[in-house]
Amino acid sequence: MRRLDTEMWAGIAMLVVSVAVAGPVLFGVVDATLPRPWWIAALVLFFAGLMTAFAGTRAVLRHAGFGAAVVCSWIVVGTTAASGLLPVLLVVTAASSVYLMPLAAGAGIVLANTAFLALVYWPVAGSTAEAAISVGFYLLIQSASMLSSATLLKEQRMRRELTEAHVELRAASVLLAESARTTERLRISRELHDLIGHQLTVLALELETATHLDGPRSREHVERANGVARALLRDVRGTVGQLRGEPPDLAAALREVVRELPGLEVSLHVEDGIGAGEAEAGALVRAVQEIVTNTLRHAGATTLRMSVATGPDGALVLSARDNGRGAVEPVPGNGLSGLRERFESLGGGLAVDGRDGFSVTARVPAP
């Protein structure tokens, strides 16, 4: 279940206000020029149009719903000119417009609403000044509501873009740090092999030669030294192998990418003892980065659940699901397509599902 955020609370408040201003007509305190059943139907269609506009999955459906809401608001207001509060419905449509269309189009809605109010108020107002004051008041309220919503959306967009940049920067930092550690391990392993390993090899050869010299006691000590030298050589080779093959800390790398993301609650579970090679870890880090970025940018989600575990076939499996709007027929963009190619090049694969939120499952064979 999605957590109610400030936008959803604002929407609930606007719904309550809209029902409240319609209350006098709904309860018969104020009469409408339209028959009451038809007036109530227009009010219901107004709310249905707004819900379709915000919940629709296609742009055509959203715009059609919003257009129906605008027309129905005009019908509701135009048939009850004696109720001074019902034009609040026009303010609701003006404030909602910036969520669905460019600001210029929203300004057009405000002007159209204002022109409609002028046509409604002028015939019933006591004077031209009274009509002008009422129309001007609602013009200012609509403009202020629309601009406030636009400012809020701009701030949210900038915050989201900043969060996306942080995620990308963290992912790049994790991969760079791992690359630097790998480079350092290789450098140390080469030095150990070239310097100490070479010297011990020479020592072992020298002692091997000394075993063919005369002197039984000397021969005994030389053989013992020979054993020590060979043991040291084995230890050095083992250390070199460890330095070359030390796996990256996958859990720490992934948790660094998803740390402290404002506006999105991320939970990440990494199976204990799971390991990955450098290429596999890099692919998983990039996958987590892309999933988080897409969730912030497109899903409208508040929570994201991710896990990395070992599958039945021993492969590493990354599973992620958010509680956002999803998509009936998800079309992977460049980011997800690039991820699929990366995992397929490693012998794995990637699948997406948008039926219940948006989920991504990525597989990569264990090294």
CB 320 within 8 A of CB 291: yes
The span from the CA of 3 to the CA of 26, in Å, is 32
| Those residues with Cβ within 8 angstroms of residue 281's Cβ, 6 or more apart along the chain or in another chain | 178, 247, 248, 250, 253
Q: At what angle do helices 88-97 and 6-26 cross, to 10 degrees?
A: 150
| Those residues with Cβ within 8 angstroms of residue 261's Cβ, 6 or more apart along the chain or in another chain | 163, 166, 167, 292, 296
CB 302 within 8 A of CB 5: yes
The amino acid that residue 98 corresponds to is V
Check residue 296 and report its DSSP letter: I
The span from the CA of 349 to the CA of 337, in Å, is 11
Question: What is residue 46's predicted lDDT score, i.e. its pLDDT?
Answer: 92
- Cα–Cα distances (Å) from 110 to 11, 120, 180, 190, in that order, read 19, 15, 57, 72
Closest CA to 147 of 100, 89, 103, 183: 103
The span from the CA of 257 to the CA of 268, in Å, is 10
What is the 3-state secondary structure of 3-53? Answer: CCCHHHHHHHHHHHHHHHHHHHHHCCCCCCCCCHHHHHHHHHHHHHHHHHH
Question: What is residue 111's predicted lDDT score, i.e. its pLDDT?
Answer: 93
Question: What is residue 6's predicted lDDT score, i.e. its pLDDT?
Answer: 63
The span from the CA of 347 to the CA of 277, in Å, is 14
Closest CA to 33 of 81, 88, 72: 81
The span from the CA of 151 to the CA of 155, in Å, is 6
First-last CA distance in the chain: 38
* Residue numbers in the chain where pLDDT is lower than 70: 1-8, 57, 81-84, 125-126, 166, 169-249, 260, 328-333, 367
Task: Using CA atoms of 26, 27, 32, 34 in order, give the dihedral in degrees to the nearest 10.
Answer: 60
Q: Are strands 359-364 and 316-322 parallel, antiparallel or unpaired?
A: antiparallel
Q: What tokens appear for 77 in the block? A: 């207001």
The span from the CA of 160 to the CA of 117, in Å, is 38
Give the length of the chain: 367
CB 332 within 8 A of CB 352: yes
pTM above 0.85, yes or no: no
Task: Using CA atoms of 87, 92, 98, 103 in order, give the dihedral in degrees to the nearest 10.
Answer: 10
Question: What is residue 131's predicted lDDT score, i.e. its pLDDT?
Answer: 78
Closest CA to 233 of 281, 185, 197, 282: 197
Determine the longest span between alpha carbons in the chain, in angstroms.
Answer: 131
